[in-house]
Amino acid sequence: MILFFIEIAIMVIAIVWGLKTAGALGCGIFAIVAQLLMIFIFHLPPGEAPVTAVLIILSIGIAGGTLQATGGIDYLVYLASKIIERFPKSIIFIAPFIVFLFVFGIGTANIALSLEPIIAKTAMKANIQPKKPLTASILTANLALLCSPAASATAFVISVVATYGITMGHYLSIVLPTALISMVLLSVFCTVVGRTKLSTNANLTNLTQQTDHALKTDFSRRTKIGVLTFLICVACILTFGIFPNLLPTFHVDGEAVHLKTTDLVQLFMYTSAAINLLLVKIDTKAIFSANITQSAIGALFAVLGPGWLGATIFNAPHNKHIMEHQVGAIIEQVPWLVIFLVAIVAMVVISQTATSSIMVPIVMGLGIPPTFLIAMIQTLNVNFVIPAQPTILFAVDLDETRSTKTTSFLAPGFFVVTVSVIVGFTMKALLGL
């Protein structure tokens, strides 16, 4: 038992040290170094690397990076700005909804970075504290991320639960309505808690001028078609994921074999990238330098390193016995402890993808039903306590009224995560899963 906890401690140190040294990339690299120690020093048999999840994340990164390089992301931000600015008085509800749609469709919460100046400007023009729509929108982006089939964290979770017979349709039937209900309740919370109107109008004109910024408004027809293509491919992933019977069936050695959902994601993501490359001539260097691609590469390593290391530690025969019979017995009596365990790790690790790569195999190894994991999946979003998220830091710097602080996300953050867990288990019970 002591040796087992030493191995876990080394894993945690490697991941946290890697995150502090070089972010998600460092997390993966340092975890692989710890993997070396486990094999050569502790003599643990190497576990399986999460190859499928890595391949999915790579396809998502290339597809999203290609869309960004062709100007598709800028076009989507332009459309979002028009909708947000059209309903200034309802900004606390409209902004999170638009952010939800865009994160769900594109698969990255960082698109909120492009929308934050627009949200802040529109709020001040409506004499509303920017803190409220900014807080609601940023936390909503995290909710939407774990619903998106084009998000690396979601892709990893689905790839794991798929081995237990859980389809994307099962996953989304719980997670999607849970996120939407939680988003609305979060907007209500941000509306009723604290002062909504700006304390003074004296500097309102000056502030709105300072936060105003120029957006590109001229987009080619090919760019627009490319955006539509990407969204259609995401819609195809959703359709086939929800209705797996529509997938092609093959006969191999006398047995009927369905196309895997994990393969489906890659096929449609690369198809969208190919069409965008044909529509818009771009330098391929722009794809690799795109923010979405860079984030995906970081996420790739954040899954590869901790996922491989975790498989080695927790699937080692002796450790597996401890997990199933000793730790598992405690969790069986008090399963809610898993929720707090995941939340604490998410609080420290911050990245949803890195946290899922660490905790999802552990939770499943404890014998927790996959639908239990899905119902509590939004606990991966307890990443607002340590203010290291770019979206949070940018919102604090952006708000000229100084109403938005790093601590502004604590109360609404814990509120929405708590609500999402309650709603998630309610949806699970209603669906009989």
- Average pLDDT, stretch 185-200? 84
Average pLDDT for 169-196: 93
- Rounded (10°) CA dihedral 128, 132, 134, 140: -140
pLDDT at 402 over 90: no
Calculate mean pLDDT across residues 297-306.
87
Min mean pLDDT across 175-179, 181-185, 277-281, 416-420 is at 277-281
Count the neighbouring beta carbons within 10 Å of the beta carbon of residue 231.
17
The answer on pLDDT for 209 being more than 70 is no
Q: What pLDDT score does 215 carry? A: 63
Burial class (CB in 10 A: 0-12, 13-18, 19+), 55: middle
Tell which residue, 141, 127, 289, 306, has the closest CA to residue 205.
Answer: 127
The 3-class secondary structure across 384-429, one letter per residue, is: CCCCCCHHHHHHHHHCCCCCCCHHHHHHHHHHHHHHHHHHHHHHHH
Lowest mean pLDDT among 46-50, 63-67, 93-97: 46-50
The DSSP secondary structure of 147-199, one letter per residue, reads T-TTSHHHHHHHHHHGGGT--HHHHHHHHHHHHHHHHHHHHHHHHHSS--B-S
Give the count of alpha carbons within 13 A of 235, CB side only. 7
Answer yes or no: is pLDDT of 314 > 60. yes
Arithmetic mean of pLDDT, 78-95: 91
Give the Cα separation of 188 and 167 in Å (integer).
Answer: 32
Question: What is d(CA 96, CA 81) in angstroms, rounded to the nearest whole number?
Answer: 12
Burial of 209 (0-12, 13-18, 19+ CB in 10 A): exposed
Of the chain, the percentage scoring pLDDT greater than 90 comes to 43
C-alpha closest to that of 123 among 87, 77, 76, 74: 87
| Residue 255 DSSP SS3 | strand
Q: How confident is the model at residue 92 (pLDDT cuts 50, 70, 90)?
A: very high
* Average pLDDT value for residue range 223-239: 92
Task: Look at the chain and count its residues.
Answer: 433
Residue 28: is its pLDDT beyond 80? Answer: yes
- Average pLDDT value for the chain: 88
3-state secondary structure of 45: coil
**Which amino acid, residue 415?**
F
Instruction: Name residues whose C-beta falls within 8 Å of residue 118's C-beta, 6 or more positions apart in sequence.
Output: 80, 81, 84, 85, 215
Q: What is the pLDDT of residue 207?
A: 46
Q: What is the distance between the alpha carbons of residues 276 and 216, in angstroms, rounded to a whole number?
A: 19
- pLDDT at residue number 200: 55
Output 205 or 336, whichever has higher pLDDT: 336
Mean pLDDT computed over 325-344? 85
**Which among 192, 178, 181 has a CA at the least distance from the CA of 379?**
178
The top-scoring range by mean pLDDT among 4-8, 114-118, 147-151, 378-382 is: 378-382
Mean predicted confidence (pLDDT) in 239-252: 86
CA distance 143 to 179: 6
Cα separation of the two ends of the chain: 34
Rounded percentage of the chain residues whose pLDDT exceeds 70: 96
**By three-state DSSP, how is residue 256 classified?**
strand
pLDDT at 141: 95
Q: Give the per-residue pLDDT at 429.
A: 95
| pTM for the full predicted model | 0.85
Q: What is the pLDDT of residue 211?
A: 44
- For residue 274, is pLDDT > 90? yes
* pLDDT at residue 203 greater than cutoff 60: no
Interval 53-59 mean pLDDT: 88
Phi, psi of 197 (to 5 degrees): -80, 155
26-40, 291-305, 324-338 — most confident range: 26-40
Compute the distance between CA of residue 309 and CA of residue 312 in angstroms, rounded to an integer: 5
Give the pLDDT score at 72: 92
pLDDT score recorded for residue 214: 58
> Which among 100, 102, 139 has a CA at the least distance from the CA of 382?
139
